[in-house]
Each structure stands twice: as C-alpha cells, then as structure tokens.
Amino acid sequence: MANTFFKRGALHYMEFKIRRAKHSDLENLLELRIELLQEVGNIKNKEEMDKIRNANKMYYEKHLNNGEYISFVAESQGKIIGTCGLILIMRPPYLHNLLGIDAYITNVYTIPNYRGKGIATALMDNCIEFAKSNNVGRIILNASADGKSVYEKRGFILRNSAMELVLNG
C-alpha cells in the first residue's frame, strides 16, 4: 500500500509517497534511527553510535523480515525522508480490547529539512490505518515535545499512569 501526497509549501508543492518499508531499506532505516537518537541526545560519541547501530541492524534484520516490526517510510524523489514503526503487542484481553492486541508506535522521524510538510502526520495515519486493519484495540507511544501536536491531532491523549523499571542501563 503506497499513498502519494502533495503538500503545498511556501513556494511549491512537495510530492512524497508513503509505503511500507522493505528489507532493502535497512540501511536508510538505520541512518534515520541514528539521526533520531543523536537528535534526542541518546548518542554521545562514536563508540555509542557503533554499538547502537549494530544492535539496531540486528533488530531490523530479524524483526523487519518476520513482520514483528512494521515500518513505513516517506519517500520523495527516490530518497527516504521520514519513517515510523509499529510493534504489535499481544496481551490478555480486557473489556475495551477483547482481542488483546495493542500496538506501540516508535521511531517517528522526519529529516529536519522536510519537517512541517505533513510527513509525520501521513506516516502516523498509515500506522493507525494498519493498526485498525489488524484489529488493534489501543495504540501507545512516547511523545517528544516536537511530536506531541501531531499525536494529539490524531486523537492521542496524555496518560500519567505509565511507569517503567530500567533493568540494564
């Protein structure tokens, strides 16, 4: 499923296409992942970058190929300019989700020069449609300050009940 969008900017229309990522996109996905992590301050030096790159390469090779990680990419003039990912989570059913299928959206990123053109919104819409078509009852994500408005416009609400325990860090 690929959707083509035309977004009017200050001077012209920008055309971009949203499609599901393929194994051949792996290197581009890795680059965008590294850029995202550098931007949010999770990578401080080359050694950390190499460790994270290798770990993500192994993750993508396994989970992108077997469908456990679903990724969409935005492409313009043959260049991947944005991405987002979705992980399906099976849990015991509950009243508002009788199938027990949740989804976690992660790795929403647009290259800085292409921001503000509706790319993240289009990527999110594809993730949401994929989730709906796979009977997902709830989608969760962690919002950055920059992405919060995109998520709120899609109907996401902030919950303060989440907790985490970091086991190795």
CA atoms within 13 A on the CB side of 41: 1
Does some domain include residue 169?
no
Chain segment 1-37, per-residue pLDDT in tens: 556 655 544 444 579 999 999 999 999 999 999 999 9
Does some domain include residue 23?
yes
Does some domain include residue 86?
yes
Q: What's the CA gap between 69 and 67, in Å, rounded?
A: 5
Q: Tell me, what amino acid is at 131?
A: A
Give the chain's domain count: 1
- pTM as predicted: 0.87
The domain that holds 47 is classified in CATH as 3.40.630.30
Does some domain include residue 87?
yes
Does some domain include residue 58?
yes
Does some domain include residue 99?
yes
Chain segment 32-65, per-residue pLDDT in tens: 999 999 999 999 999 999 999 999 999 999 999 8
Q: Which domain holds residue 78?
A: 3-153
Does some domain include residue 80?
yes
